[in-house]
Structures are given as structure tokens and as C-alpha cells.
Amino acid sequence: MRDDTSGFLGWCRRSLPKIVLAPSFVVTICFVYGFIIYTGYISTTASKMLPNSKFIGLTNYEKLWRTLNWQVALDNLAIFGILYISICGLLGLGLAILLDQKIRGEGFLRPIYLYPMALSFIVTGTAWKWFLNPGLGLEKTMHEWGWSSFKFDWLVNSEMAIYTVVIAGVWQTSGFVMAMFLAGLRGVDNEQVKAAQLDGASSYQTYKRVIIPQLTPVFLSAFVVLSHMAIKAYDLVVALTGGGPGNATEVPATFMYSYTFTRNQMGVGAASAMIMLMTIAAIIVPYLYAETRGKRHE
Amino acid sequence: MSRPYQDSGVGAQRFWRVLIYTTLLVFALFYLLPLFVMLVTSFKSLDEIRQGNMMALPEVWTLEPWFKAWGSACIGLTCDGIHTYFWNTIKMVVPAVLIATLLGALNGYVLTKWRFRGHRWVFGLMLFGCFIPFQIVLIPMSQVLGNLGIAGTTTGLVLVHVTYGIGFSTLFFRNYYEAFPTELVKAAMIDGAGFFGIFWRILLPSSGPIIVVTVIWLFTNIWNDFLFGASFNAGEGAPMMVALNNLVNSSTGVKEYNVDMAAAMIAALPTLLVYIVAGRYFVRGLMAGSVKG
Amino acid sequence: MASLEIKNIRKSFGSTEVLHGIDIAIDDGDFLVLVGPSGCGKSTLLNMIAGLDDITAGEIVIGGETMNDRHPSKRDIAMVFQSYALYPSMTVEKNISFGLEMRKVDKAVRKQRVAEVAQMLQIEPLLKRKPGQLSGGQRQRVAMGRALVRDPKIFLFDEPLSNLDAKLRVDMRTEIKKLHQRLGSTIVYVTHDQIEAMTLATRIAIMKDGVLQQLGTPQEVYDEPNNLFVAGFMGSPSMNLLPATLVDTDAGIAANIQQSSGESINLLLKPSENHAQWIGKAVTLGIRPETITDPGSAEQNTGLVTQIDCEVNVTEPTGADLFVFTELGGEEVVARMRSNSGATAGEQAAFSFNMEKAVLFDQDSGERIY
């Protein structure tokens, strides 16, 4: 550093890096952590349409858990989450393995699998809403092509609607999971594959015993990213089903929005947001901690 | 990956190759179909849609739905098409991306080349901001924006996106600068360059790739955003996705599927174009933003 | 154990031929080292022996059986890779027994074979660990263990020591040599390090640009290199190569060297019938550093020692020796003298040239003149 580091000016110069970083840091502290605390505070008050400072402890949470809509939202999140994560994972891994077989035209196929990631969930929802339109979409197409008994009214079927969200979600994100696994596969030392060949292992055995066990970090990353997206899923549901039919595809994110802004139950809405946060934190925080621990660069 | 040696005979080999290619092509169809249907529907007349097959090519190609989507479709009470909202979004996205990128670069620079005690904590705290469900900040943010008098304005939305975008941009730049040789910075210091000098003259010129990655990432995410737009600027100045959703989900009148599809295509075009042109950087952003901190 | 024959092997990648007709034959129990600079094709050849790369033309014959179309796992070979290629998610024990497991060998037999090998390589305490927890030398031994447990006809080594630090490399080299002596196995070993080649091999195959330069015992390739490349490649410091002309003198045919000072030096050569046709022609003279010494340590009982005074450019003491650099015929020449011989940079010193083992090369083709 320069030699004129004395006095106030010197202090300024030395602290310049921190001063530059400070606005972003302060903004993060206030607008992320401060807001979290505020929302947490609201969740313990009797806020309805507007914030109310009357402290009511965990009443909102109790109310939340007794609300049918919330139960539905949680059920849907479980169904959606489990299916979304596992199908994306399996599909992504499968496609990556296939693409890794020295395929001609890989440079052509990969972008096709990935492009849905560039789209907004609103666009995806809109497209699939049309595609699965009972009466004019897939169902009609199948009828036209000769399969007259084909029925696909999932979109308006209370039981099945959540599965359309799964389909659209998988369509959007599986390409990304495939890219992650492909990168992981390519990171495996090729000499190990040769050694396995020499050892007499078939392709299947090589994948099962040598290659896939090394992909654990990728499975973990994929799980973290996918579960994060599943919990946050809002845009997709809004565009695809609007939460319906009725409340059949209600998820915590849509619940929070409607209870806070349209149903004037701000306290309960805040409580639901806190629950969402805690669920994500339970997954992300250990993951981040383990990752930054391992990265000791000094 | 070296291939399994030809031990099972050429016939078996060929069978597997055919199976692999077929599977891959079937999935390629799966990914392309909705886009194809969207496109095709947007060029048909409503009659054709109602009578025909969703997947059939238009018998009569028409640009009518596109013009309507752009200029005369009804969203809410106004029947002005989506073009205003399209430009609104541009006016919002460009400043947000620029500011968030610049701040991210500076932050990354400080965190890697001007290390201080607790830098890892600072980074960690900022990083966590990327992962929170944004529902958690809706209530306080709407209050703050209201108090500042910028609720329901483009400025307000820019502020929101910058706030929640710097986590990512800092992540990208920090990881990139981490790998940048510190010797160059030290050499520059010996040559007399100061804090900003090193940034502008040494680091930034070499930051091409990561700037592209960050800009693409931020652009895509902010352009595609719905939640913040719907929460903080849902009215006249609403961004693209809010307008699209309003258009498509409007319960009044006849459902004009072709207009809906055309509008969706227009909304998707910017990010799709970016993806086609700079897909490589898009993927890099995906990987960097997801795999590790 | 088995013999190995490489018959006129050619390899092309697309339209580029990288191996141009390699012929090598070794016996059961030989330690063949394939050595050469990067890109000479030695690893490609090894992969072809293993079956990991296919053969464009020619035959690989192991123990009398042609192996061209056989799967690598059916050739009864084992390989130690440069990066060791240990399976990271398996324990050392599982790593070693994996090949046996794939061949459906009985569990009890597997356990026993692993124990035998572990004892031989002294890696018993490591059996339950994973590769990530081992040091470089330990990993190397596990890799060897994995090869040994197969009891194959031929062992293949692909630059197994390049990832180790200098001291470990020397230690492991000795270990490998001891293993070879103990087991009498047939080994094919690839390296770019000519010292490894010299110390380990019973036969050395020197390759360059996909062509076999010379096949012989270490001493053969050292003392009687076929061409300039082999001469310069083997030996450290490398053989001195300088331009000379053959002249007829009273004492016999000598190599005449022109100094830049204008001075002319004659070095009497070992008599050979061929030399006569080369009189008056320009050749390259090859003299190894250890044959140029201070007069005190020169060979006494040979008539082919010539002593000349030359100016010393640089000296490099190694403790045991003193390497003295001078100039001959316009080329830098290294001599190996006793450490206390007193040669000093900038001064004249007496150099004794023992021409018993000097060699001559055709300047144009680089081929040896006998």
C-alpha cells in the first residue's frame, strides 16, 4: 500500500475496500436478514390486512396448521417435490450417460435438452397449459390420430392436477440436471474406466461400481438445487393451474401469496413464509457450511 | 469415456447404438414439442385451432395473432397489447443488470484481493441471500417501497432486483477472481496502482467471460421474474411476465389461444435469443450458480 | 509368464499414421522398456498390447497366441496406469480384488490372494482405507497390487513413476526391479526417463515419431547407438556430438576437428575396415563425457588416449565429479573429471580423450558408421 497512510485520509484509503463492499453488505443484512426478522415478527402478530403490533405468540402457526389449504399445500409440496426431484435426477442421469457414449450430434442434442431453462416459468406454464388442454390439446390430438379412448383431463382433475405441475417442472429443469451429471461424468478419470475394462467389468458394472459412486457430489448439488426450486415453486403453478382446480394444486408459495395479499391474513401468510424459509435453510445451510469448509484456499 | 471394447459382436453393438440414438431423439422431441405447438398455434386462426389438431401445421398461416398480442390484446382494462409491458421490462432489466453486475464485480474484487478478517463470513452471509424463498421478503419490502414512495414503480422494481441479484453476481465474480493470479495484483501495486486502478486496468479487462456469464444470468432471471413484478409493480408499469400471465389467465371473453401463444413467444424471445447466441455462457452460469459457493 | 511378439504393428488415427511398422520380440521373463520423447508412440503401443486401442495392421502375439481381436480382460495381462487409476469409492482391498470379482472368483480365494499380495508389497495396514487417504507411494503400491493379484502373463506399466517426487521415484524404481527379480515376470514398461530405462530394463526399445530406433540390451544401446538420436537420448549428461572429418595419419585413421581458433586436432580412432571409405568426408563424432577426463584418471592400457589442452568455459562441481565444459569443433563439449583436478573457468586445462568407445555418424542421415 502507499506510504501516506496516516491520519484520516490514510484510514480512508486503507478502508476503501471495505467501504466499497459495505453498501452491498449492508443492503444484504437489512433486506435479507432484517426482512426475515421482520416477517418473523409479523408472523407473531395479529396482522390481517395491514401490520398490527399486537403480539399473539405462535397463534398464527397453530392456525396455519389447522388450515385445510395449508395441509393441501404441504401434501402437494411433498408429492411434487419427491416426484420432481427423483424424476429430474433419474432423467438427468440417464440422458447424461447416454450422451456420454460418444454420440455424434451431441452438440446438437445438448442445447435442445437445456433450452427450457432459458424460459420463464410463466411461459412454460402457459405452453403446457395449452398442450394439456382437455378438449383442444393432447387429448384431441390423440383422438385425431386414432386413439379415440384416450383421456387426458389431468389439468382440470383435482386428483391429478398436481402431476401436470410435475410434468411441466421436469420438462423445464431436467436438461439442467443432465448438464450437471454430464460434467460430473466427464470429470471421472478415464484411466479408471480402462482399468475396469482390463478387470473384465462390463459397461453396466463399470457405471454401477466405478463411475456413479464418484458422482455423489453431483447428486448432492442436484438435490440441493432441485429441492430449493421445488419449495419456491410459484410462477409455474400460477401459470399452469392458478392453484386450481379449486385449491387442488395449492403449494406453500401460492398459499403465502394469497393469504397475505388477497385474503388479508398477513400474520398467517408470514407464518407460512417462515416455514418455507426454515425448510430451505435446513437443506441449504448444512450444504453451504460443508462446501465453504472444504474450500480452504489460504 | 473410452468405449467398451467390441466384445459382444458387431450385431449387438449396433442394436445398442440404435437404441441409444432412438432414446435420445425421443427425448429431443419431448423437449421440442411444447415449443413447436406454441409456435404453430400462434400462426393459426381461432377457427382452425378449434377444429384442428394442436400439432398440425397451420393450413393458413397468419400473423394476425402476433400483431394482436403486440398491439391490441386486452390485459386487464386496457386493450393495448403487450408492447408497453415489453418496453417496461427492458427499462427495468437494463439498469438492474448493469448495477448488479458492477456491484458484483467490485464485491468479488474486494473479497478476493483485499481480504480482511471475517471475509468468509461476509461472503457466506451474502451468498445465503441467493437461496432464500423470496416470499419471506414480500411483506417488509412492500412496506419499505411504500414508505419510500416507489411502490408500483419501475425504480422500485429495479431496486428489488438489484438487492436480490448482487448475491449471485458477487458469487460469480468472487469465484472467478479467486482463480485470478494475485501476483498480477501485487505487481500492479508495486507499479503504483491504487484500489480502483487495479480494478479498472488489471482485473476488469480480463473479466470478459465472467461478465458475459453474469449479465446473461441476471438478464434471464430478471426478465423471467414474476413474483416480484406481481408483488411490487403489477399495474401499468408491470413487467413482461406479469402482463403475460394477466393476458393468458384473463377470465373475460373468448379465450384466444393463438394470441396467448404469440404473446408467450414474444415474452420468451429475448431470453431464448440470448440462449441461442451465447448458450455456452448460459450453461457456465447455471453450473457456477448451482454447484458450489 | 510368456513371451511377447509385436509384429509389424501399424496404427493410424484417421488418415494419420502414428506407428510405422514396429517389430519387437522378447522372451518370457524379459523386462522390456519402451522409451522415447513425448509423442513417440510408446503409450499408444502399450495400449495396443493391452487391447485398449485397436490395431490398424500387424499382430500382437502373447505366449504364442494372437491377441488382435481379444478383449483386454481376456488377454491375461495386467496394467499399472500413470495415474494409478484406483477406484476412489472402494477400499484398497476392494480395489485389488475387483478384477477377481468380475471374473467370479470365489470370495475365500479372493481374500487369500489379496492377503498374499498385500504382504508382498507391505500394504497390509492399508487394506481398509480408501485411495484418497493414501500417499503417492502407497497408491502406487496398491496399483501394483491390483496388477499382481491377477497373476497375469504380462505386466504393463504406463509411466508409473512420473507422478512421484524424485526421491520416491528412485525408491520405487528399486522396488520394481526387486519385484521383477523375485517373480521373473514378463514386463513391458513405458517411460520417457532414460535413466529408468537403463536401470530397469533387460531390453530397451527406443522410439521416435512412431518408428523403432533401436532394440537392444541397455549396454548395447549405450555403447553402440544405431543413430544420432539414440546416442543423444541415452546417457546423462548426453553424449558429446561434434563435427569432424576423417583423415589418414601415420598412426591410423583419425578424426580431425577444426577449432574456431584455426587449430586442428587429430583424435586417433579404433581401427575399422569401413572407415577407409569415409576419409575426407564430414562425419559426426560421438564421445561420452566420462571418456574425456583429466590426465590423472585416464585409462592407461590403451593406445587410443589423446591428450589435448583446451580452454575451460565453465565448470560444474557435483561433489563426486567435476563437469568441465569446453569447446571443440564449434560445439560445446562436456568432460567428466575428478573433483580435485583443478580445472578453472577461463584457463587452459589438459583433457584426455579415450577414443576406445568413440562412435561415428553420417552427418546427413544420422546413421552410425561402424
pLDDT in tens, B195-235: 888 899 888 888 988 999 999 999 999 999 999 999 998 88
Q: Do B2 and C71 touch (CB under 8 A)?
A: no
pLDDT of residue B255: 82
Please tell me which of the candidates C77, C85, C99 has its beta carbon nearest to residue A194: C85
**pLDDT band, very low/low/confident/very high, at B51 (cuts 50, 70, 90):** confident
The pLDDT tens digits of the residues spanning C125-168 come to 999 999 999 998 899 999 999 999 988 999 999 999 988 888 88
Q: How confident is residue B290, by pLDDT bands cut at 50, 70 and 90?
A: low
**DSSP code string of A155-209:** GG-TTTHHHHHHHHHHHHHHHHHHHHHHHHHHTS-HHHHHHHHHTT--HHHIIII
C132 touches chain A (CB under 8 A): no
d(CA C39, CA B268): 50
CA gap C76, A227 in Å, rounded: 48
Instruction: Tell whether the model's pLDDT for residue B2 goes beyond 80.
Output: no
- Residue B137: burial class (beta carbons within 10 Å; 0-12, 13-18, 19+): buried
Q: What is the mean pLDDT of residues A252-257?
A: 92
Q: Biggest alpha carbon distance in chain A?
A: 86
Q: Do C52 and B2 touch (CB under 8 A)?
A: yes
Name the least confident of A248-252, B154-158, B254-258, C138-142. B254-258
- Across-strand partners of C156? C79, C188
- DSSP letter assigned to residue A211: I
Q: What are phi and psi of C310, to 5 degrees?
A: -135, 160
pLDDT, position A296: 46
Is residue A77 over pLDDT 90?
yes
Q: CA nearest C50 in B: which residue?
A: B5
Min Cα distance B4 → chain A (Å) is 6
Residue B81 clears pLDDT 80, i.e. is over it: yes
Query: Looking at residue A298, what is its pLDDT?
Result: 33
Residue with cell 429495479: B158
The CB density around residue C370, as the number of other CB atoms within 10 Å, is: 10
Would an 8 Å CB–CB cutoff place A223 in contact with chain B?
no
Query: Which residues of chain A make contact with B275, given a CB cutoff of 8 A?
Result: 111, 114-115, 118
At residue B1 the predicted structure's pLDDT band, cuts being 50, 70 and 90, is: very low
The ipTM (two decimal places) reads 0.88
CA-based end-to-end distance of chain C: 37
Which contiguous run of DSSP H or E holds residue C160? Answer: none
Residue type (1 letter), C38: S
Residue B267 has its nearest CB partner, among A27, A120, A144, at A120
Q: What is the pLDDT of residues B107-126, one digit of tens each?
A: 999 999 888 888 888 888 88
In this predicted structure, the answer to whether residue B292 has a pLDDT above a threshold of 50 is: no
Q: Pick from C47, C71, C87, C148 the residue to mutate for testing the A interface (most A CBs within 10 Å).
A: C87
C360 vs C52: CA distance, rounded Å = 41
pTM reported for the whole predicted model:
0.84
Instruction: Encode pLDDT of A189-242 as tens digits.
Output: 889 999 998 998 888 999 999 999 999 888 988 998 899 889 888 999 999 988
Short-list A259, A120, A100, A68, CA closest to A193 = A100
Question: Over chain C, what is the mean pLDDT?
Answer: 90
Sheet bearing C314-317, strands edge to edge: C314-317, C321-328, C331-338
- For residue A193, give the nearest of B1, B126, B139 by CB distance: B1
Q: Say whether pLDDT at B293 is over 70.
A: no
Touching partners of A (3+ C-beta pairs < 8 Å)? B, C
Residue A176 with chain B: CB contacts under 8 Å: 286, 290
8-state DSSP, B153:
S
